Structure 1
Amino acid sequence: MNFEEHYGELTREIELNGIVPYANSMPIHKCFLGKKFQKVLKKKNINIEYFMNVCFETQQDFTEGELLTWSLQGEGMDVYAIECKKLFVKGKHFWVYCVGIIE
């Protein structure tokens, strides 16, 4: 599995609650999700098999535990905000939202 793989040119056609991200990882199987977050999902009875990381250049008004809508070319699906983190990469700040794809 290549964790560096992203949607590339299709990123412009992605929206998370109507906002186009800077980058979006491809779906990653939940076995790569930390045990801490797997326990949270199990406790909340949220059924996911895959998760993604959605990155923005500015902070968004999303909170952990919130249900969001992720769409690509108009096809939407529900996702669950697992974690929100501010990262500093190559001299620039990014806000990364880990979202689980709800089955």
Structure 2
Amino acid sequence: MEHNYSYPLDPSWSTAEIVTVIKMLRTVEDAYEVGTTTERVLTDYRHFKEVVSTKAGEKQLGRKFAKLSGYQLYDVVQAAKNATGKKVKLEVNKR
């Protein structure tokens, strides 16, 4: 799907770190658009936390991404952590 927004990235991140963060944000998009696996969300989130290690940093990036895309990083991660099945699929909740 084409998106008319850019990802909120930190220019101090290395190329590998940027790839890791974009991968997580794409997983969030997939969770809303087509669904994804619980395992993918949790694996990508674990790698994401190696780049964005603080809660404050995660919240800030999550807010920026939600403002741009309408998709909630926090909601996707919580859905995966609390999932009883192997799939995560969320509906966009306009806050």
Q: Could you tell me the TM-score, scaled by structure 2's length?
A: 0.27
**Greater RCO (Cα-Cα under 8 Å, separation 6 or more):** 2
